[in-house]
């Protein structure tokens, strides 16, 4: 009998560990729910029906999962024959199934495994009836630990079983106007008007002096009087270290703008409000101080800039009083939302090294003198080392700041050495990557900004025979150049890396890739910022010897590293963060605009034209190369290639060999800097 029991147990274990059948224990769902608003014409109207698709992505992974839901009534006030005829709250509810799984091999299973530790899944996208919506996280409920990070993501694991996330969605949806009175049907239905009668557009239901049509255009409620001045938007996005245009949306139906005064009461430390008006004392910029007052008319005719000179954390409120000529002052509080250069407060970045943050901490007395700390939520700190004149001996050194390197006056790090990063950490891993940095490399020699065992990013020396002073990305066998010199310039550089192609962008414009050159490069062994190190075992001394080279000489401002290729809509707000922080751009934030906005800077069109010209020139060289080796059609192919070269180009021999033709490609000039400075306005719209 015991033998039979043992056999049965053996067969069960064999089946359990070798079969495709998997064992799992169902767990309560994680819920994502919220309201959906149609933000047409500055209004915020609840959407009552539609299909929602919500996509999440596992952190540091390409795994994406999409879940679906219908908008439904959550609180019905009146039923008729079992059907809800009067609903108070509409919401979508995304149910994410979870399980405690021992062995799962079902690729179609969208259940998330509950591990012992929390795993992060970022919000990627949400659509309503196939139309992209803005994701607006509010709060969450469940088992929350003090060390848990918060942002645009969910945490999945045993500590977060049965968690609930409240996330609203906002978008501009198509509207209908059955009676052609200028009022959308959805707005009339929401405010109990008649969508079949055009007469109600001219009515003033709340007797505040504004017709219903004016109420709609002003984004106000037609049932609530607007005779008392009201601040319609009380949240504003700012960029740390940057400058933004600050707009106040105030509704007052019975007072003219020149009779409404805005009195500024207080602002967080590090925040400056600077008003540029057409009359004294504002024409050259006036810093608003406690109890300073400006009329709404002056504000609307001028520019009010908000300068964020520090890293904000809590209590980021601007307090002001709104006074009209008839009623008591109205107290208004504006919450400042500090943009973070990633969707999840940088926790999905691998590395975030920032001279601005270091300078602030140094001023506060909390900075470590020889170490720059990682702001990404990881612990990839960098210890600073400088060397002797011949760079043969390096020692730990205090970080020095340069306060006069930039016109903006922001302090940057004097990069005359390198930052040693944790060698066991995947700071610059293999695979898909996006690396965005602001820096200046100076001098005549080759310099490396970032290096590791998989690739390096640097600037070639001024005497490089083919690519002098250009940004260079290199793997062990390939290299890509920026095609424009960047040495001695303070630049915003982006490297977008995938498994099969790499692109380089300088100051937001394409400058290199995806075509690469066959070049051999000996890569470093450890991750380094500002140089390269190759460690080798010395059998004579029986010790590891580090060979350091290409140490950077210049200024370092900021670098953010992501372990995926960012999409365009993710990349450009981060560019705004860099450009306003380090280059003095003023950001005009349209990300909360109520209408779809198709903004295209002339520089964007020019960049695409230049990119296409570079591709066409490359194709012309390839065509000439084929013609040369096949000894057929050489004259026509050479004529096409010469059309991209400077006028009057001379060959050493005619027709030239393929190598000389390739070298001539570097004579093609792409005037990116002129394009950028001429066409990209210093006021940068961000959508």
Collect the ranges in the chain with pLDDT lower than 50.
1-21, 105, 594-607, 671-683, 685-687
Q: Provide the β-strand partners of residue 549.
A: 532
What confidence score (pLDDT) does residue 178 get? 92
Q: Can you give the pLDDT at residue 667?
A: 75
236 and 217 in contact (C-beta within 8 Å)?
Answer: no
Predicted local confidence at residue 673, as pLDDT:
37
Using CA atoms, how far residue 630 sits from 289, 381, 616, 624, 625, in Å, is: 76, 56, 21, 10, 9
| pLDDT score, position 20 | 45
Provide the pLDDT for residue 597: 42
Please say whether the beta carbons of 472 and 461 come within 8 A: no
The alpha carbons of the chain give a radius of gyration, in whole angstroms, of: 30
- Tokens representing 246? 């600050």
d(CA 614, CA 611): 5
Q: CA 678 to CA 686: how far, in whole Å?
A: 19
Of 189, 197, 184, residue with least CA distance to 90: 189
What is the structure's pLDDT at 58? Answer: 87
Q: What DSSP element (H or E) covers 72?
A: strand 72-80
Write down all domains in the chain, each with its CATH number in brackets: 30-171 (no CATH), 230-339 (2.60.40), 343-563 (2.60.120.200), 599-666 (no CATH)
The two most distant CA atoms of the chain are separated, in Å, by 103
Q: Which residues of 334-369 are buried (b: 16+ CB within 10 A; e: fewer)?
A: bebeebbbbbbbbbbbbbbbbbbbbbbebeeeebee
Q: How far apart are CA 483 and CA 613, in angstroms?
A: 13
- 323 neighbors 329 (Cβ within 8 angstroms): yes
């Amino acid at each position: 009998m015991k033998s039979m029991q043992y056999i049965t147990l053996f067969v069960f274990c064999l089946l359990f560990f070798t079969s495709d059948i998997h064992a799992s224990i169902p767990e309560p769902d994680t819920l994502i729910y919220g309201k959906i608003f149609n933000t047409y014409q500055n209004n915020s109207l609840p959407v009552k029906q539609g299909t929602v698709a919500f996509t999440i992505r596992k952190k540091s992974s390409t795994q994406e999962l999409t879940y679906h839901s219908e908008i439904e009534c959550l609180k019905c006030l009146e039923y008729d024959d079992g059907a809800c005829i009067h609903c108070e709250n509409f919401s979508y509810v995304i149910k994410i199934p979870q399980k405690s799984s021992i062995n799962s091999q079902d690729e179609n299973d969208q259940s998330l495994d509950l591990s012992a530790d929390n795993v992060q899944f970022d919000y990627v996208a949400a659509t309503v009836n196939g139309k992209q919506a803005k994701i607006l996280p509010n709060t969450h409920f469940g088992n929350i630990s003090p060390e848990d990070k918060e942002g645009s993501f969910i945490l999945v694991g045993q500590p977060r079983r049965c968690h609930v996330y409240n996330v609203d969605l906002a978008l501009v949806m198509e509207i209908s106007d059955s009676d052609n009175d200028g009022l959308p049907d959805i707005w009339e239905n929401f405010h109990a008007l008649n969508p079949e009668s055009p007469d109600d557009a001219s009515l003033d239901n709340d007797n505040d002096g504004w017709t219903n049509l004016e109420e709609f255009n002003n984004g106000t409620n037609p049932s609530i009087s607007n005779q008392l001045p009201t601040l319609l938007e009380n949240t504003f996005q700012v960029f740390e270290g940057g400058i933004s245009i600050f707009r106040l949306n105030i509704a007052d139906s019975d007072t003219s703008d020149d009779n409404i005064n805005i009195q500024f009461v207080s602002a967080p430390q590090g925040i400056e409000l600077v008003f540029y008006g057409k009359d004294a004392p504002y024409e050259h910029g006036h810093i608003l101080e406690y109890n300073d007052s400006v009329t709404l008319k002056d504000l609307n005719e001028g520019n009010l800039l908000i300068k964020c000179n520090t890293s904000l954390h809590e209590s980021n409120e601007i307090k002001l009083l709104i006074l009209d000529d008839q009623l008591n002052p109205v107290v208004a509080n504006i919450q400042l939302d500090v943009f973070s250069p990633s969707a999840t407060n940088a926790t999905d970045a691998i590395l975030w090294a920032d001279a601005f943050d270091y300078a602030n901490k140094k001023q506060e007395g909390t900075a470590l003198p020889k170490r720059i700390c990682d702001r990404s939520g990881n612990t990839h700190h960098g210890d600073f080392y400088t060397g002797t004149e011949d760079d043969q001996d390096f020692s730990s050194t205090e970080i020095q700041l340069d306060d006069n390197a930039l016109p903006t006056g922001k302090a940057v790090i004097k990069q005359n050495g390198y930052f040693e990063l944790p060698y066991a950490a995947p700071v610059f891993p293999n695979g898909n990557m996006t690396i965005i940095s602001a820096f200046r490399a100076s001098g005549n020699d080759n310099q490396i900004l970032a290096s590791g065992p998989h690739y390096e990013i640097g600037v070639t020396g001024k005497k490089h025979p083919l690519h002098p002073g250009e940004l260079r990305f290199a793997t062990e066998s390939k290299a890509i150049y920026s095609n424009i010199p960047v040495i001695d310039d303070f630049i915003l550089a982006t490297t977008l890396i995938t498994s099969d192609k790499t692109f380089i962008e300088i100051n937001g414009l394409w400058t290199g890739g995806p075509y690469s050159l066959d070049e051999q490069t000996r890569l470093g062994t450890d991750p380094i910022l500002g140089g390269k190190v190759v460690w080798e075992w010395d059998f004579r001394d029986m010790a590891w010897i580090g060979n350091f080279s290409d140490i950077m000489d210049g200024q370092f401002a900021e670098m953010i590293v992501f372990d995926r290729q960012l999409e365009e809509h993710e990349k450009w707000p981060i560019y705004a963060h860099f450009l306003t922080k380090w280059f003095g751009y003023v950001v005009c934030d349209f990300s909360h605009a109520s209408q779809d906005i198709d903004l295209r800077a002339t520089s964007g069109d020019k960049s695409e034209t230049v990119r296409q010209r570079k591709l066409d020139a490359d194709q012309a060289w390839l065509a000439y190369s084929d013609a040369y080796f096949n000894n057929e059609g050489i004259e026509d192919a050479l004529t096409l290639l010469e059309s991209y070269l400077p006028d009057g180009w001379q060959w050493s021999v005619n027709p030239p060999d393929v190598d000389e033709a390739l070298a001539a490609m570097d004579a093609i000039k792409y005037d990116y800097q002129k394009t950028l400075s001429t066409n990209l306005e210093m006021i940068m719209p961000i959508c």
